[in-house]
Amino acid sequence: DEARGRLVAACLAKNIGVYAAHTNLDRAPAGVTAVLARELGLAGGVALGCQDAGGYLKLAVFVPVSHLEPVREALWAAGAGAVGAYDQCSFAVTGTGTFRPGPSTSPFLGQEGRLAEVAEARLETIVPFHRVAAVIEAMRRAHPYEEVAYDLYALQNDFARPGLGRLGSLPEAVPLAALARRVKSVVAADGVRYGGPQEMPVQKVAVAGGSGGSLWREARARGADVLVTGEVKYHEGQDMLAEGLAFVEAGHAATERVVLPALASFLKERCREKNWPVEVRLAGHQDEPFRYL
């Protein structure tokens, strides 16, 4: 019996599904922070505020050539095959597999007690630890064999990890006040606050949509001149200025809703690819909890 609960209940009563993307959208390769950096004209990109990626495994499974595509599609659908901003990643090579079905078996190919030679593909892909059980289950469902031959290998690769923030560079240094005005225009904020001398030249810019003030130490350690974010606490602002890091605070909602047009375009494109008759529209407004005099 709270405002958010009543809102969700009202949506359900109208047969409206609700999906709320929060920090997953912040961290997405084309999410809040990425769009904010792009709109500000930042080049390059170093992730800030990374989470533990959790590790990956390499899955290799042997599939009859006739069932290569169904098994590969099942693995992808279950969460395998994503590397950074790429998905549906796999490798396959064909060869000859041998096996002899034992007593009381029901082989998809071959006969009980006789050696079989079968044209098979070795299909490889990458699986995050937290999706291993789901991927193996999907593989078993799609695979025609009653005994599936597969291997799992631990990987030591240093994969890029998603982050809440990003550090990039402007083509050339600009005064801090000029950057603050550009931020205000890009995110369509009612107003912005900034800390640091107006004419301070800034070029290396850290960005984090929403409440990203806590990233300031990492941003400074990586050489940032200024942090652009939605919220900065009082003592965070003091500490940043004491360490020579300027900041621009443009509002929590303003620095996040910059992603909405890109998100709408993404959803429209996916619906077109799937031939789904779905209309994607942006809400006309979002109430801010603050007012400016």
Taking phi over 0 as left and psi of -120 to 50 as alpha, with beta for the rest, 81 belongs to left
Distance CA 227, CA 176 (A): 11
Host domain of residue 104: 56-154
* Same domain (yes/no): 90, 220: no
* Same domain (yes/no): 169, 44: yes
CATH number of the domain enclosing 241: 3.40.1390.30
| Residue 3 DSSP SS3 | helix
Does any domain span residue 5?
no
**Residue-level pLDDT, tens digit, the chain, 293 residues:** 788 889 889 999 999 888 888 878 887 778 899 999 999 999 987 888 876 555 789 999 999 999 999 999 999 999 999 887 789 999 999 999 999 999 989 999 999 999 999 999 999 999 988 899 999 999 999 999 999 999 999 887 766 666 889 999 999 999 999 999 999 999 999 899 999 999 999 999 999 999 999 999 999 999 999 999 999 999 999 999 999 999 999 999 899 989 999 999 999 999 999 999 988 888 877 667 887 77
Residue 242's CB: how many other CB atoms inside 10 A?
8
Residue 56's CB: how many other CB atoms inside 10 A?
21
Q: Which of 127, 128, 125, 126 is nearest to 53 (CA)?
A: 128
* Count of structural domains, the chain: 2
- H or E element in which residue 11 lies: helix 3-13
* Same domain (yes/no): 147, 198: no
The residue out of 154, 182, 204 marking a domain boundary is 154
CATH number of the domain enclosing 138: 3.30.70.120
pTM for this entry: 0.66
